[in-house]
Amino acid sequence: MHHSEEDIYATPNSDPDTGSVAQKILSEQSMLGVIVGSLSAGIPSTLIYALIVGVHTYPLLAYILPGILIGYTSRFCGRAIEFRFRLMTGAITLVLLLVINYILTYPSGLLLSLPSVAIAIILSKRKLTRDQNTALARWLALGR
């Protein structure tokens, strides 16, 4: 029985083999997409971070902005579900913030920027529909 993409996503509970839905969702993840998305948002956002920190205006925004931009862009490009993909987003965010804080000679900036790393990891997770989430949970409960 052949399902179109819409059928697979629309009715995973009616399909006795929810593994096909889960496998499709997991196969859509892309480490390259995560890396490209993180860097494409990370470089401009860290430059904005440097500008905001440099003029001492809106420091709270400066510390969370890179994480927000990197997380959402990574979610769009990488479609991450598994933690290892999201961890790559956090690692790229951390490295970019380390570099920019080193360049700015602002050592306490790294500590203040750590919430940005957590925000990037949290926001990089792809949102699933209830049916997709149920199919994935069932498939994982069966041990893949």
Instruction: Write the pLDDT tens digit of every residue in 99-139.
Output: 998 998 887 887 888 999 999 999 999 999 998 888 888 88
**96 within a domain of the structure (yes/no):** yes
**6 within a domain of the structure (yes/no):** no
How much is the average pLDDT of 68-78?
95
Predicted structure pTM score = 0.81
**18 within a domain of the structure (yes/no):** no
**130 within a domain of the structure (yes/no):** yes
**2 within a domain of the structure (yes/no):** no
Instruction: Write the pLDDT tens digit of every residue in 29-58.
Output: 999 999 999 999 999 999 998 888 878 767
**8 within a domain of the structure (yes/no):** no
- For the CA atoms of the chain, what is the radius of gyration? 18
Range of the domain at 84: 28-141
pLDDT of residue 135: 87
**86 within a domain of the structure (yes/no):** yes
pLDDT of residue 60: 83
- Structural domain tally of the chain? 1
Q: What are the C-alpha distances in Å from 32 to residues 77, 96, 142?
A: 9, 17, 29
Structure tokens that stand for 17 in this block: 């083999």
**57 within a domain of the structure (yes/no):** yes
